[in-house]
Amino acid sequence: MNDQPILIVTAGHIDHGKSALVKALTGTDPDRLEEEKRRGMTIDLGFAFLTDNIAFIDVPGHERFIKNMVSGIAPVAAALLVIAADDGVMPQTREHLAILHLLGLQSGLIVINKVDLVEEEWLQLVIADVRQLVQGTFLENAPLFKTSTVTGEGIEELKTYLTTPSMRQTYSQTSSIFRLPIDRIFSVKGYGTVVTGSVISGRARIGEEIEIVPAGKKCHIRRLESHNQVCESVTVGQRAAINLVGVERQELKRGDFLATPCAFIPTTLLTAQLSLLEESPELEYNDLVRVHLGTGEFMARVRLIGKNSLRRGESGIAQLIFSEKVAAAFRERFIVRSFSPQYTIGGGSVLEVNPKPLRKKDQVYAEELQSLVSEPLSSWLVFYLKHKSEMLCAAQELAVNFTCDRTELEANLAQLIKSQKVSRINESYILTEQLQATRAKILATITQFHREKPLTPAIEKASLLAMLKIDTRLGSFLLDDLVETRQLKTVDEGYALPNFEPVLNDRQQELLNVIEMTVAQAGLMPPTIEELAAQYQLCQAELRALLNLLVLNGKITIIDKIFPFHQQALSAARNIIVEFLKKNGGGTVSALKSCLNISRKWTLPVLNYFDQQGLTIRDGELRRLREDAHV
């Protein structure tokens, strides 16, 4: 018995016997709706089980129900193309085959059904026609079976083949991220909301938290069934019925999916590679189309990048602008149908799940994307980091953008780190060449700053990062590293080259001495910076540079950003305040103003300064010495 769960989708034109074939193989009629039984026509998805591990998804064949047909194909790994011997290849045979091919199916088989209705000569013509149809598709070398649900011919042979190891599937989705596109929603008395779908990746267990995407609502799994059996968990390749706690039926719709929390990004914009069928009409820039993604149908505008249109059989890069929020996996395939009248025109693969908006003229970027379509994840990581220039990217950000679990992500990043293409900083990543370029850019910027402002001892960190326009985390890391390796030094809250010292010409040195003397002579009643600039006819930038030198040399302190107090004056004020408060236990602003013999204009800044220095503390209207003050 095959241990790997297998999901097999039927495909083919209406009335070619798909549902009857499934019933003959499984004993279960997949047409569950009353209307389907009354009309003898499949309208929605039907399900039946051949064994515990083999399930059929029966899809409608009528062109009006292609939307339902596509929602059934999305999660499967194998297809059973059914063609009636008396009709042969019909329009929906071709359309269904094109859809299967566009969605990237790799495995399947062909069934010529209703062979009891035709002569052998006609049957051979139909088989030849079918073989010609499937040339160049995944069914080109597929096994072909001849069956009749009326006489039973070929049914046992087909059933035997379906249960052999040759049908064992290796699902391309090996991620541990759970995902189940919802195809049915209903309520069960005593249990509440139940959804069904096919697990396309990962595993889910009873009691686990799950997210409804794209709504972002979290809920829990109360009960699980797979293939009509209650179970503790469900995994890739299985049909599942999931009883949810914390969500009402009306909050869900077909097109939503259940997923590992925080693994997907809801968006109205996706970047994709888009391919048109050979028989498709030309697709113009900004055309409105129907996008079949997962089990949902969504309206979207197609914004071609680098092109005005796509001709039949052509491929190109496009952005899809949706009328509602969607979510997709990296490299997830989808179908595109015309808005009206409805017919399949092509399909594509999602390349960016959370992209920046692109313009039509961004052709170089589109060509980069096109060149990566078949490349491994490691190449995509390099591309992504390249376009996140001078920013650190967290592992979680990379995992979500490429819909991969941490194991796969870290294996690829480890390979890139080993080859020195990527550098790791804490839990984040950056291209090594960008890291080196940013380090060089920091040094060049500080060098240029020293040239332009030779009197300024250092450039403040915030100003430097703003000038460089780099990520704060990256900037902080590099500045710390440059200081540690002695390529920079810290000066107060700024940075400078290790050998840099402010250089003054004779005029500036004379001004520096005069300004210090002016401030010193003013005592506790210094002029403002603006007043000093006017007094010596200096621009404020040059004056502040000179004052910063005096601050750096410990000569003055600038209080409230406007008053330059000489250190001698502040030391004298400190002694006066300490002596007064020791003697009186406390003092009002008015009392301390009289004690200092200055006006309120300077008293408040001085008192606030000593509060900040930890000498005094406010107690209502009084200032008192702090108990822990060093006096």
Fold type of domain 507-631: Arc Repressor Mutant, subunit A (1.10.10)
Asked if the domains at 6-167 and 267-370 fall in one CATH topology, the answer is no
Q: Band of the pLDDT at 267, cuts 50, 70, 90? A: very high
The secondary structure of residue 405, as a DSSP letter, is: -
Domains of the chain, residue spans: 6-167, 179-259, 267-370, 390-503, 507-631
User: What architecture is domain 390-503?
Assistant: Orthogonal Bundle (1.10)
Lowest mean pLDDT among 38-47, 143-152, 257-266, 343-352: 38-47
H/E/C letters for each residue in 150-181?
Answer: CCCCCHHHHHHHHCCHHHCCCCCCCCCCCEEE
Strand partners, 299: 290
Give Cα separations from 587 to 34, 476, 581, 598, 610 (angstroms). Answer: 92, 44, 6, 15, 14
- Alpha-carbon distance of 514 to 537, in angstroms, equals 13
User: Using one digit for the tens of pLDDT, what is the confidence trace for 61-97?
Assistant: 444 435 555 554 555 668 889 999 999 999 889 988 9
3 state SS of 364: helix
Least reliable range by pLDDT among 11-25, 367-381, 598-612 = 11-25
**What angle in degrees, to the nearest 10, is found between the helix axes of 506-522 and 540-552?**
70
Q: Which fold has domain 179-259?
A: Elongation Factor Tu (Ef-tu); domain 3 (2.40.30)
What's the whole-number average pLDDT of the chain? 87
In 3D, which of 304, 335, 303, 278 has the Cα closest to residue 69?
Answer: 335
Cα separation, 445 vs 442, in Å, equals: 5
Tokens of 25: 């193989």
* pLDDT (tens digit per residue) in 118-152: 999 999 999 999 999 999 998 999 999 999 999 99
pLDDT of the residue at 34: 47
pLDDT for 49 equals 78
Please write the tens of the pLDDT for every residue from 457-480. Answer: 889 899 999 898 888 899 999 999
For residue 614, the 8-state DSSP code is T
310: part of which helix (H) or strand (E)?
strand 309-310
What's this model's pTM, rounded to 2 decimal places? 0.78
Tokens (6 digits) for 271: 């970047």
The phi, psi pair for 148, rounded to 5°, reads: -145, 125
Question: Do 80 and 111 contact (CB within 8 A), yes or no?
Answer: yes
Q: Render pLDDT for 481-519 as a digit per residue (tens, 0 to 9).
A: 999 999 999 987 899 999 988 877 778 788 888 888 999
Q: Give me the mean pLDDT over the 103-130 stretch.
A: 92
The predicted pLDDT at position 332 comes to 92
According to CATH, the topology of domain 267-370 is Elongation Factor Tu (Ef-tu); domain 3 (2.40.30)
Question: Looking at the domain that runs over 6-167, which CATH code has it been given?
Answer: 3.40.50.300
The yes-or-no verdict on residue 31 having pLDDT over 70 is: no
User: DSSP string covering 515-567, please?
Assistant: HHHHHHHHTTSPPPHHHHHHHTT--HHHHHHHHHHHHHTTSEEEETTTEEEEH
Contacts 24+ apart (CB under 8 A), 547-553: 547/515, 548/455, 548/456, 548/457, 549/455, 549/457, 549/502, 549/504, 549/512, 550/512, 550/515, 550/516, 550/519, 552/457, 552/491, 552/492
